[in-house]
Structure 1
Amino acid sequence: MRSIQDRTNRWERRSVGEDYDLIVIGAGAAGLAAARTGVRYGARTLLVSGGEPGGDCTFTGCVPSKTLIAAAARGEPFDQAMRGVRHAVAHIAATEDADALTQEGIEVCRDYAAFHSPSTIQVGNRRLRAAAFIIATGGRPSVPLVPGLATSPYLTSDDVFELVHKPHSMAVLGGGAIGCELAQAFGRLGVDVTLVEAAERVLPGEDRQASEVIAATLTGEGVTLVTDATVARVERDGDGVRLTLDDDTTLNVQRLLLAVGHSPDIHGLGLERAGVRVDDDRGGVRTDRHLATTAPGIYAAGDVTGRLQLTHAAYLMGRTAVHNALHRRKRAYDESAIPRVTFTGPEVAQVGLTEAEAAGRGARAAYLPMSELDRAVTEGATDGFIKIIAGPRRILRQVGGGRVLGATIVAPRAGEMINELALAMRTRMFTGRLAQTTHAYPTWSMAVQQAAAQFFGTYGGHTAQPISSPANRRSIP
């Protein structure tokens, strides 16, 4: 293996006449991963960021939201929970600020960048050249085009964690992961919450049974769910907001929180001057399977691509993009085995195909309700289930129980449990390996072993069932 110095010399020879080997634009999860990977490869790396390093995840996403969720679950008062959010953000931000990154060998420039040409960017009054660029400017909260919204007060993930005083009521617009997480958290903090979702169920992108569990949990905790509804108009109403729905129903709340997703942030980058095209469907920078853009030497990673909008996916994209930018032998970015988690209580974790998506593929589904898992019974947390999807291999077919194609878990520790299934998918594992692996008792992860055993016969009264069509999906008992 070549030493760091050998690699450094190689990049110096390659990039004669360039200011840097690699310039990364944006310092969120994808940008930090890209810059750190560039340094590990021995490339002269510049990280350019208009905001503080850490991006959405540290300041307005994962860190503050999960801190708030945990505080709400512990029953902390609103003021104490918000202080905890600010403390957690400050603590983690200090590990990735400009001083910390400089110690890692990354040069940091706090300014905004725009392409001047395919090989140069303008940063303030400086024009910089590089052999390769990574666009990692992330995303920004989406704001729907609703009449009256622009002139009415509303919150997004950018500023909801700055609340100082607890609102007595809140409407959350959007029933995806962020909307459900924050609706539950604020409800547990004593806020009267109404969640409005345009689809006919919350968590519309997840397994239907998972949606049913979370809907029942939220309702049971006092959150009002309004599904299959859109907002027709928003008006300022004194110190609050009035929402008029498409059926003329009105909601009067003190605060309105928008949680309808994020849009790629490409504003002001001068992409047209670099020959970088935007994907019409995703609204982000167009990339191929190697994360290369339409301009030679320019790659993109993270939310700005419009791909899977998860911190760990962005981190993988950042590493992959830099490898491909600096090496002739390319690696494909594959998100088929990347798990996603909704951090409600219980959590919802998903990897690969859902049962509905696997219909018609000759797949089978194993199902185990948490009420039959000893650990869930001991903790009095029996809402939820585990579902493993397995399908035939090309030659071996169902030998070994078939290959893991996906899994859905709804449980208090679903986010931890799903990683075993993600590994199984990543390594194209037979379900038999999961069933044969001894799991510690009594743990949440024993559900994985018990469900996997169903692919070899009846276990605990359950047997894996063929998935022939969406109509055959089982409902919650």
Structure 2
Amino acid sequence: MSRARELVVIGGGAAGLSAARTARALGAHPVLVTEGPPGGDCTFTGCVPSKTLLAAAAGGEDFATAMRRVRAAVGRVAATEDEAALRAEGIEVMRGRAMFLSPDEVEVHGRVLSADRVVVATGSAPLVPDIPGLPDVAPLTSDTVFALRERPRSLVVLGGGAIGCELAQAFARLGSAVTVVEAAGRLLPSEDPEASAVIAARFADEGVVVRTAVKAVRATSDAGGVRLELTDGEHVRAERVLVAVGRRPNTAWLRTGAAGIDLDHTGAVVTTDRLATTSPSRVYAAGDVTGRYALTHAAHLMGRVAARNALARWDRVRLDDAVVPRVVFTDPEVAQVGVTEREAARTHPDARVAYLPMAEVDRAITDGRGDGFVRIITRPRRLLGHTGGGRVIGATVVGARAGELVHELALAMRTGMFAGRLAQTVHAYPTHAVAVQQAAAQFVGGHGGRVARPVEGLR
């Protein structure tokens, strides 16, 4: 039995790194247990390689050059969070798979750690659906696709969510013939329907074939590679198939029952609003393993909250996740913060909406990039009503710089800002950000003949 540790963090991805670094900043001496190299999915198989591949594809690079660029970017980022870097920060790193023996004991490859407090941050893994024949055709996932050495001549992507759409567009621009198969009635089913339509139109322009409202029911190999039978009786063929239908929490090997940790029906760790688990000991959880968000920045936030609460004697803080933006890094980008218009119609029927097509924004015109829009949603303030434009409760931005523009709107939500303040703030011209100012102006007098309208529930 080794000495008792102040904090054991299980998992070396975004949430685990955040938890360990937060603990160190609070004066604790954490040990980070990680099965793979620190950095996790985001660094090695997620954000870093996928955005690098997208940038390389957009720049017209060939596949071999693009993949070399991916490996270089991964290596550069990984060096800032590897074992040597973490030890220099005062964080002990232990490599291996951890499992609970009890609420306050963790075993790592036969070594038992006595843990006063634990943060579980084991992340998630790609979900591979139970489709007959699929395992036999060696499906790619986001965990394996970046190891490819040769570009597939053709590719079927199962799943039209964020990961599926990003990789579909990247491979199409790199020269693969790409087909996307999505079970829902549209691409990006979790996003604004109009955003889905913009991406579908762009995919059509770029030659990406989209099949929606169908599922794959069987996979077989043939001379050309893979043949997928669909629920509508048709089939698609490609050299390779990439599965991007979702993710599952990594909890199977943790022996959560030994620690008194409850899981939900998906296998995610059940947590309170302070990220405490059901364990009788001080066991907290953060990141994808909680099933809350599959977002790196959300994992960073949860890691900070979990570590602080695990180490606190009192005054534990709640997870304040009301304002967490998300971005789909297709071209154009799709960004969302707060509620969509459809959600606002249910929760705030007195809300108002400002809408501005990017085709009316001068910078988008100069760039020849008029596809997309800005939609801002506000609700009346108590006593003040819609004075000053009301309070921002949600926004959707679709455009070339949507992932950057959404943060101004997130800040407005975070600070309870009047929408009119966005309109009053001088924005440099000509920038994409002027679109936010012009849309916000619709709440306080209008812009270009457009004024804010009541929320509609059918969007």
TM-score grouping bracket, smaller chain normalisation: over 0.9
**Is 1:166 paired with 2:151?**
yes
- 1:351-377 per-position Cα deviation (integer Å, ceiling 9, x unaligned): 000111111411111001111111111
Paired AA for residue 331 in structure 1: V
Post-superposition offset of 1:153:
1.6
CA distance in 1, matches of 2:301, 2:356: 32
Q: Please point out which of 399, 413, 423 is paired with 1:411.
A: 399
Count of residues paired in the alignment: 454
1:294 matched to 2:282? no
Q: Partners in 2 of 1:238 and 1:318 — Cα distance?
A: 48
Instruction: State the distance in 1 between where 2:86 and 2:186 align.
Output: 43
1:272-326 C-alpha deviation (Å, 9 max, x unpaired): 000000022x430000100000013000000000111100000000001111111
Partner of 1:373: 361
Q: In the alignment, does 2:105 pair up with 1:117?
A: no
Alignment of 1:388-467 (within 5 A): 388-467=376-455
Match of 1:13 in 2: none
**1:225-374 equivalence runs, <5 A:** 225-238=210-223, 240-280=225-265, 282-295=266-279, 296-327=281-312, 328-360=314-346, 361=348, 362-374=350-362
Q: Which amino acid aligns with 1:439?
A: H
Q: Which residue of 1 aligns with 2:139?
A: 154
Residue type of the partner of 1:98? E
2:413 aligned counterpart, secondary structure? helix
Deviation of 1:468 after TM superposition, in Å, equals 3.9
Which whole-Å CA distance do the structure 1 matches of 2:390 and 2:208 have between them? Answer: 41
The alpha-carbon deviation at position 33 of structure 1 amounts to 0.2
State the identity as a percent.
58
CA distance in structure 2 between the partners assigned to 1:424 and 1:467 by the alignment: 19
Instruction: Pick one of 355, 359, 374 that aligns with 1:386.
Output: 374
Shift of residue 456, structure 1, vs aligned partner = 1.3
Alignment of 1:1-12 (within 5 A): none
Distance (whole Å) between structure 1 residues aligned to residue 63 and residue 301 of structure 2: 35
Kept after mapping to 2: 8 A contact 1:153/1:236 = no
Distance in 2 (CA, whole Å) between partners of 1:239 and 1:229 is 22
CA contact (8 A) 1:18 1:131 kept: no
Which residue is 1:9 aligned to?
Answer: none
- Superposed CA offset, 1:51-106 (max 9, x none): 11000000000000000000000010111001101111111111111001000110
Q: CA deviation at 1:410?
A: 0.5
* Counterparts in 2 of 1:337 and 1:409: CA distance versus 1, 3 Å: same
* Range 434-443 or range 181-190, more displaced: 434-443
> Is 2:37 the partner of 1:72?
no
- Mapped partners of 2:185, 2:69: distance in 1: 35
Residues 195-219 of structure 1: per-residue CA shift (max 9 Å, x gap): 0000000001000110000000011
Query: Following TM superposition, by how much is the alpha carbon of 1:458 offset from its aligned partner in structure 2, in angstroms?
Result: 2.4
Secondary structure of residue in 1 paired with 2:345: coil
Rounded to whole Å, the distance in 1 between the matches of 2:304 and 2:125 is 22
Aligned-pair CA distance for 1:151: 2.1
Partner of 1:4: none
1:30 correspondence with 2:15? yes
Moved over 6 A (4+): none
Counterpart secondary structure, 1:143:
coil
Shift of 1:150: 2.2
In 1, are the aligned partners of 2:341 and 2:457 still within 8 Å (CA)?
no
Q: CA separation in 1, counterparts of 2:111 and 2:433?
A: 54
Supply the AA of the counterpart residue of 1:273: A
Q: Report if the CA contact (8 A) 1:67-1:88 is conserved.
A: yes
Secondary structure at the residue paired with 2:343? Answer: coil
Q: Secondary structure at the match of 1:279?
A: coil
- Conservation of the 8 A alpha-carbon contact between 1:153 and 1:241: no
Instruction: Using the TM superposition, give the Cα deviation of residue 239 of structure 1 relative to its aligned residue in structure 2, in angstroms.
Output: 5.9
Distance in 2 (alpha carbons) for counterparts of 1:205 and 1:123: 38
Unpaired runs of at least 5, structure 1: 1-16
**Aligned runs of 1:161-240 on 2, under 5 Å?**
161-238=146-223, 240=225
1:90 and 1:331, CA in 2 relative to 1: closer, same or farther beyond 3 A? Answer: same
Distance 1:147 1:336 in 2: 40
